[in-house]
Amino acid sequence: MRDSTQCVLTPSVSQEGFDPLGVAVHRGSTIVFKDAASYAARGERGHEGYSYGLYGTPTTRTLEAKLTALEQGAWTFLAPSGQAANILAILPFLSAGDHVLMVDSVYPPMRDFAETDLRRLGVEVDYVNPLDPQDVAAKIRPTTRMIWCESPGSTTMEVIDLPQIAQIAHAHGALVGLDNTWATPLNYKPLCHGADIVTEALTKFVSGHSDVLMGSITVVDERLIAPIRSQMGRFGIGVSPDDASLVLRGFETLGLRLRHSERVALEFAHRLGDHPLVDRVLHPALETSPGHGIWQRDFLGSSGVFGVVFNQAASAGVATALDAFSLFAIGASWGGTRSLVAPMPVARHRSVTPWTGPDVVLRLSIGLEDEAELWTDIERFLQALEQQQR
Ligand SMILES: *Cc1c(COP(=O)(O)O)cnc(C)c1O
């Protein structure tokens, strides 16, 4: 064999005895077949087999398998972001003339998707009160194909009665999808409470280091696999094995990181609830948070993200007082090792459950810094807020 050929061919080396704990990064667009017949039959390999890099590598399959087991579903798909996962969980099931219900507390880009793209495609959309299954019963139609949920709701943290909503949906032949990003599959298993599809923004707690974007879609049974897989193929959507490898690495410490953030967040939520400038704290594990009883019934724990509503007078100063934070970083997204704060507007993202009171919820995401130093940082912020009151 000539050198130029030798340069191109990959010699086969033994893998015997090489048994690492980590998962290899398998890069590949082309997958070669041992003969013409297996190439011709590649379509028969199905969703589990390998036929082209876009449809999966051993690296992405490993991440999918981990999620499928934790969500207790039938199959998992990976998407380039949490938002992409949400869209791909909905779009394959809709045609012009169909109807979709969404909880009013949905992740705002989903409302934008519904208002912009679903309406343009001739799909009708209504929003429901996340705390009132009767509102779902009243608004569901024979053409309703999907009820899109998020629990707890984005920013405002309403926990929904998923079993009741699923019962109404299934009686009308509609699917139920749920964005489970806040809880992660460790704290909530929506497929065990009536959802047909669950999505995660792996970008947040699961990857856990604020350095990668990814989303997952897990379906409850086989019948939902083909529509999503074929749509993803037509749209040309897959994820990089390097990114999947980052998520797999972060995943290994999810249990520890989440339990730590849960404990510190809950402690801070209680302390903040007692502060004179605070009107209320939005955290599903607090009795005063909407849907707390359902959280207690259905969830396995809480997460490291919660919201604080300050009283009317203090709220006006929240944005400027943010500069008093030195350890908490100011930024969107959450679930990483660094603690984050972000002021979130709510009123503009509600249409059937108007947000009354100050239109800023301070969202805190608790990371892995020293707990006492984080609290000192929060105290600095509270003092800055107090000084503005004088
Ligand atoms: C962040 C987030 C998403 C989107 O995730 P990206 O990976 O940033 O697209 C979706 N749903 C919820 C609830 C989120 O918090």
| CA 317 / ligand 1 centre spacing (Å) | 27
Token pair, residue 12, equals 């086969």
CB 339 within 8 A of CB 348: no
For the sheet with 361-365, list strands across it: 278-282, 305-310, 361-365, 340-344, 329-330
DSSP state of 104: T
Mutate to test the pocket of ligand 1, among 78, 106, 107 (most ligand atoms within 8 A of CB): 107
Which atom of ligand 1 is least distant from the CA of 204? 1
Average pLDDT taken over every residue of the chain = 97
Q: Residue 357's pLDDT is what? A: 85
Token pair, residue 358, equals 């100050």
351-380: pLDDT as tens digits: 999 998 899 999 999 999 999 999 999 999
Whole-angstrom distance, CA of residue 271 vs CA of residue 379: 11
227-240: pLDDT as tens digits: 999 999 999 999 99
Which residue's alpha carbon is at the smallest distance from atom 5 of ligand 1? 82
Which residue's alpha carbon is at the smallest distance from atom 6 of ligand 1? 82
pLDDT band at 29 (very low <50, low <70, confident <90, very high): very high
| CA 83 / ligand 1 centre spacing (Å) | 6
Q: Residue 210's pLDDT is what? A: 96
Which residues have C-beta atoms less than 6 Å from ligand 1?
A: 81-83, 86, 107, 150, 154, 179, 181, 201, 203-204, 213, 215, 333
Name residue, tokens 């520890």: 256
| CA 82 / ligand 1 centre spacing (Å) | 5
Structural domains in the chain plus CATH codes: 36-251 (3.40.640.10), 254-389 (3.90.1150.10)
pLDDT band at 131 (very low <50, low <70, confident <90, very high): very high
| CA 364 / ligand 1 centre spacing (Å) | 15
Whole-angstrom distance, CA of residue 108 vs CA of residue 264: 27
Q: Residue 212's pLDDT is what? A: 98
pLDDT band at 218 (very low <50, low <70, confident <90, very high): very high
Q: How many CB atoms lie within 10 A of CB 306?
A: 28
| CA 221 / ligand 1 centre spacing (Å) | 24
Whole-angstrom distance, CA of residue 103 vs CA of residue 129: 6
Q: Residue 389's pLDDT is what? A: 78
Which residue's alpha carbon is at the smallest distance from atom 3 of ligand 1? 82
pTM of the model: 0.97
Residues of the chain by 3-state class (helix, strand, coil), percent to 5 = 45, 15, 40
151-202: pLDDT as tens digits: 999 999 999 999 999 999 999 999 999 999 999 999 999 999 999 999 999 9
Whole-angstrom distance, CA of residue 211 vs CA of residue 229: 26
Which atom of ligand 1 is least distant from the CA of 86? 10
Taking Cα atoms as reference points, which of 296, 169, 259, 157 lies closest to residue 220? 169
Whole-angstrom distance, CA of residue 50 vs CA of residue 61: 10
Per-residue pLDDT, averaged over 7-31, amounts to 94
> 300-303: long-range contacts at Cβ-Cβ below 8 A with a sequence spacing of 24 or more?
300/186, 300/187, 300/188, 300/189, 301/183, 301/186, 301/187, 301/258, 301/259, 301/262, 302/183, 302/187, 302/262, 302/265, 302/266, 303/182, 303/183, 303/184, 303/187, 303/205, 303/258, 303/261, 303/262, 303/265
Token pair, residue 302, equals 């809480």
Which atom of ligand 1 is least distant from the CA of 154? 13
- Predicted confidence (pLDDT) at residue 97 exceeds the cutoff of 80: yes
207-217: pLDDT as tens digits: 999 999 999 99
Which residue's alpha carbon is at the smallest distance from atom 13 of ligand 1? 181
Which residue's alpha carbon is at the smallest distance from atom 15 of ligand 1? 181
CB 318 within 8 A of CB 357: no
Mutate to test the pocket of ligand 1, among 157, 203, 213 (most ligand atoms within 8 A of CB): 203
pLDDT band at 148 (very low <50, low <70, confident <90, very high): very high
- Predicted confidence (pLDDT) at residue 128 exceeds the cutoff of 80: yes
pLDDT band at 390 (very low <50, low <70, confident <90, very high): confident
pLDDT band at 25 (very low <50, low <70, confident <90, very high): very high
Q: Residue 115's pLDDT is what? A: 98
Token pair, residue 225, equals 């696999």
Whole-angstrom distance, CA of residue 81 vs CA of residue 97: 28
